[in-house]
Every structure is written in C-alpha cells, then in structure tokens.
Amino acid sequence: MEIHQDWQWLDPAARGASCAMGNFDGVHLGHRSVIDLARGTAPLGVITFEPHPRQYFAPAAPAFRLMNAEARANRLAKLGVAHLFQLQFGSVLAGLTPEDFAARVLAKGLGISHVVVGEDFRFGKGRAGTAQDLQRLGLAHGFRTTVAPLLRHGETDVSSTAIRNALSEGRPRDAAAMLGHWHRIEGEVIHGEKRGRELGFPTANMALDGLHLPRFGVYAVKVDLRTGPQAGTYMGAASLGVRPMFGGQAPNLETYLLDFQGDLYGHHLSVALVDYLRPEMKFDGLEALIVQMQADCDRARDVLLAA
C-alpha cells in the first residue's frame, strides 16, 4: 500500500482511484462495508485525514481515538487498499467550502474516479456538505459518488462512538463484534518502573497517549510481537490503568506475556483486548498482589484457550 499525504502534488500513477472516504477510526465493520463498495476495476483507495478533524478543532478535548495513524494504515493495508490518501488536516482543508473541496481536492488534486461515503458523512467548512451534496458535486466534476447505508449491530448503529462506549464499559467482546476484529493497542515497549519484574511478572509497558481509554482493569489479551527474533503471537494478561497500588496517575498498559522469556524493550507490540477480567484494586500488601496476579494469569489462559 502506498501512503500519500499531499493532494496538490500527487504522483500521476496514483490518480484515477476508486476511494472510500472518512475518518475510519477503528476500521470497523461499517467502514469495511464502505470500503467494499469502492472495490472495482480501478485501484482501491481510502481518503482520510490526519490529525482527525475533531483533534484539530478541539485539541484540549479528552483523547478519543481508537487507533493511531500507524495502526489504521496497518489495518487498511490488510484489507487490500492500494492507495491511502492521508490528507494533512489543517487551516487549508478546514477552510474549504464543500464545492471547493470536491473541485480542488477530489477532482483536480486526487483525480478520483469514484468515491464512497457513509450516509452520515459531512464535509467542507462548518461541516456544511452532506453525502447528497457530494453526489451532486461529483456529477459536476467528473466522479461518481455512492452513499453507503449505516450498518447495524442488533439495535445499535455500528459506529466508532458505540465501540468507544463498549470499551468504556469493559465490554471488549461487544466492541470486537462491531469492529470485526479485536480492539488493539499498538506501539513500542517503553521503560517503566520495573515493579513487575521485581514481583516475578515482568511486563511490557506501552503509552496510551491520544487514545480512548477502555475501562481500567485487568484483561485477557492476545499479543502480536511484531519485531525481533521471537516475533509471533502470545497469550497474556494486561493491566490497563493508573496502578493504584503504587499511587500512579498517568494511565498506561502493562502486559505480561505468558510462556515468554526475553527482552521486549524497543520492540513493537499489538495487544488485543479479548476479555475484561476484573477492575483495578488496591491490596493489603505485595504478597496479596502476587497471589492475585497469578490468579489473573491463570484465568487469562483459560479464557484465551477457549476464545
């Protein structure tokens, strides 16, 4: 997959794509239905924005993203996307009217042949443009527009918001049902305070900066170790939160890989939240904590073997 970040100086070989357009946070089943409608004889493309427009307009708002740009690109590549147009969202794009966006960015800049959007898609300055406006503008500027209906899961529309709500309530399986895959937290292993190592459970620490925070607690997880000589998939137990036993304040993810020995610092992990085991707790002492950590690992193993 080729990633393009500039719509004004695009390689001519990338023009003519049939594109799905949106933010694609989580790349859930609704997003995949939009992408599938864009498949055809032309190369498959995705048009998205970085940073997320919500981040641009409200930078001080609480973190909300389900995945960072790298994780989103990895997921889109697995779906067979040939061209990812990851447009840099700033004052220029934010100031374009719907008419200018369709003419300057989609038609002249990217030279698309077809675009697919969800029925709730909005675009242009002040979010003034609707999916129906895009259909009209596409006719005027030489590209087709398809509007995809919203996908439902039970009585709920499949959406990034619904997935965030499921994760906030400690329901990773419900989130996975809407995502079409486990919710994953991806990134590099960073140095922590090494308390897990001292307790006999060395953990891989990962930052959660900019990401929506699932319910704090302990999870059964599947872990893809993406780099290094021991790259592969492992079972694990992970603690997501602030470590109340030790007076922590900044949330992070600490993952213990079952049946693994080795150094993970600097390696890239993808941690899939499979099941919520218990909330964060404070213990009377380290011995009680160690007993609980072993119980968490045993339960995580049972859950993952049955998953």
pLDDT single digits (tens) 51-67 = 999 999 999 999 999 99
Sign of the Cα pseudo-torsion (140, 91, 124, 117, in order): positive
DSSP state of 110: S
What is the spatial distance between Cα 202 and Cα 186, in angstroms, rounded to a whole number? 19
Pick the more confident residue, 103 or 62: 103
User: Nearest to residue 275, comparing CAs of 193, 199, 186, 174?
Assistant: 174
pTM beyond 0.85: yes
Active site (annotated) includes residue 186 = no
Give whole-number Cα distances, 68 to 49, 173, 265, in Å.
12, 21, 20
Question: DSSP alpha helices (H): ranges in the chain?
Answer: 29-38, 53-57, 69-78, 91-94, 98-100, 131-141, 160-168, 172-179, 195-198, 286-306
CATH 3.40.50.620 placement within the chain: 2-153
8's CB contacts (< 8 A; 6+ apart) are 109
pLDDT single digits (tens) 24-55 = 999 999 999 999 999 999 999 999 999 999 99
- Fold held by 182-306: Elongation Factor Tu (Ef-tu); domain 3 (2.40.30)
- Three-state secondary-structure class, residue 51: coil
pLDDT single digits (tens) 227-242 = 888 999 999 999 999 8
User: Nearest to residue 243, comparing CAs of 193, 201, 197, 186?
Assistant: 193
Give 248's pLDDT tier (boundaries 50, 70, 90).
Answer: low
Q: Given the residues 188, 193, 254, 287, select the one marked as catalytic.
A: 254
Pick the CATH number of 2-153 from 3.30.420.40, 3.40.50.720, 3.30.465.10, 3.40.50.620: 3.40.50.620
CB 280 within 8 A of CB 216: yes
CATH 2.40.30.30 placement within the chain: 182-306
